[in-house]
Structure 1
């Protein structure tokens, strides 16, 4: 059956979707990706903002990644050779970041594929032996198979009708939210470290400007712990900013200088739970899922999941 799966739609152009697309393209498949975002990044996003002190960048999603497995390590080595990634020892001896922003590797991967951005997929429609994607613009061209490279909650919603069993599997997974605050300052904060963990409501805080390749003013990313984020999911941004900046000030032991820029971002689907499968694939329905919610809450897990689904789809065994 795998010989007939030549035209594949992938919903979600984050790292798992792009990993799957790369593997499928190498096997000779025609791949089209669709993503509701304006551009590449997903949880590896970088936000750049103009201030009176110049452009400031914030990696407001994933803060760093590790590369422990053979396949992903080879990919990260390639990124490093191309100047797209660099070690960041402040987060640990195995920590890597994208350069000059966390989204650099994802952006480079996306440039090698056909991606339709700003496209919301509302449902999957069976049309004889093919699939079509229903979007606000109508029905897509037919595809032989569909891959959902989405957070579990979003995948479950699209799978309700075409595959209730797979939908239930996705619905059983949980993804923790995360409130994130981005702040830029005129001068360096008087903290002896570039990263903090578990400081009051702060699950993580990082001097983003200390990462390799970053330029511009002093910049910090503050991420609330999952429990606080869940309890305050609908809180106003001002409440979140006050709480997290307050915890940073207490850790510093002095009032913070007035920020030249401060913003908050709410990630409804930030950190996945630990799953049991690398990927899900129904050969009968020609429908599959990949993503870190299936294998574990790390960037590397997203990469491995996409590759695993591509192998299932093409019938190629993996290590």
Structure 2
């Protein structure tokens, strides 16, 4: 079986299928698993020419566990050391002041670790930097799928293909086989997010919070990375930052140059802090497909599975919002497959 996409939905689906005894090949266009559970390795040199390295979680900052199934998974992952609980000090937002402390979870030591652990199974083959461009019926007329990556067909035939990718990208692969799914996927937009990340000198007036939720301006969330569990503590003379722009701002600036976006977000961060920062290293990342937009008027299932064709789809646009929705959708697809194995 093939799973296209190694974010949490794909990793959860692949792991469940592998544990049930199936040989699973996971393909992703990135250099490793994680999807939006992402950590950027940042390198810079100080004035003396000494090299420094740190990791900044520039994708999903945390996740929660609301459903009983997700809580059970989180409890097991905490026990295994894959996750850590995080209770950040939060200011801002609608409260206008200190917000109640909420319990969140982060993967340790990096956010992609959760997907890496799930995909660490003997029956799993992992193919990175493989961009799937087409899925086609086997040419010899037998049941199954042939998968093409950048125009080159993989040598084996798969009994089933599961797509775990943003809906706009999944729609392209689905259209020849399930036009109804493709149309529903195209009608399910995902919002973008520009993200500022970097390392600065410690500000003259340290912020007494771990996360800020500004009421106005381009930034929706600012995280002081030193406060996150399982991460190396920043030296006293440094501050590590990740700041996510608002959806509307990101949409309006989606195709703007990274340099221009970076300058505006640096200024926005300085305004929130009430002081400018002296940067050692700073950059931006554009998440074109960052956030699902749940539509209560559309009653989508937790996954799509066509047992006749051996074709399935999972992702948080089906399973619900965010990380938990992605995991639930991946689990649901695996369960659907196992109920009637092709």
Q: Same fold (TM over 0.5)?
A: yes
1:223-243 deviation line (CA, Å, top 9, x unaligned): 111111111011111211121
Q: Separation in 2 of the partners of 1:223 and 1:247?
A: 11
Q: Separation in 1 of the partners of 2:14 and 2:226?
A: 32
2:239 to 218, 223, 226: 218
Q: Separation in 2 of the partners of 1:83 and 1:284?
A: 40
Q: 1:201–1:224: 8 Å Cα contact kept in structure 2?
A: yes
2:274 to 253, 257, 268: 253
Q: 1:274–1:295: 8 Å Cα contact kept in structure 2?
A: no
1:281 is aligned to 2:305: yes
After superposing on structure 2, the runs of 4+ consecutive aligned residues of structure 1 that deviate more than 3 Å are none
Secondary structure of the corresponding residue to residue 281 of structure 1: strand
Q: Separation in 2 of the partners of 1:109 and 1:229?
A: 32
TM-score (norm 2): 0.86
1:109 is aligned to 2:124: no
Structure 1 unpaired stretches of 5+: 1-7
1:229 to 238, 242, 250: 250
Q: 1:274–1:294: 8 Å Cα contact kept in structure 2?
A: no
Counterpart in the other structure of 2:194: 179
Pairwise mapping of residues 45-56 of structure 1 onto structure 2 (< 5 A)?
45-52=38-45, 54-56=52-54
1:11 is aligned to 2:4: yes
Q: Separation in 2 of the partners of 1:186 and 1:10?
A: 43
1:262 is aligned to 2:282: yes
Q: 2:191–2:290: 8 Å Cα contact kept in structure 1?
A: yes
Q: Separation in 1 of the partners of 2:268 and 2:168?
A: 31
Counterpart in the other structure of 1:119: 130
TM-score (norm 1): 0.92
Q: 1:67–1:94: 8 Å Cα contact kept in structure 2?
A: no
RMSD: 1.6
Secondary structure of the corresponding residue to residue 119 of structure 2: helix
Pairwise mapping of residues 284-295 of structure 1 onto structure 2 (< 5 A)?
284-295=308-319
1:144-170 deviation line (CA, Å, top 9, x unaligned): 111000011110111111211111111
Counterpart in the other structure of 1:207: 224
Counterpart in the other structure of 1:25: 18
- Number of residue pairs aligned between Structure 1 and Structure 2: 308
Structure 2 unpaired stretches of 5+: 47-51, 91-100
**Which is worse superposed, 90-99 or 118-127?**
90-99
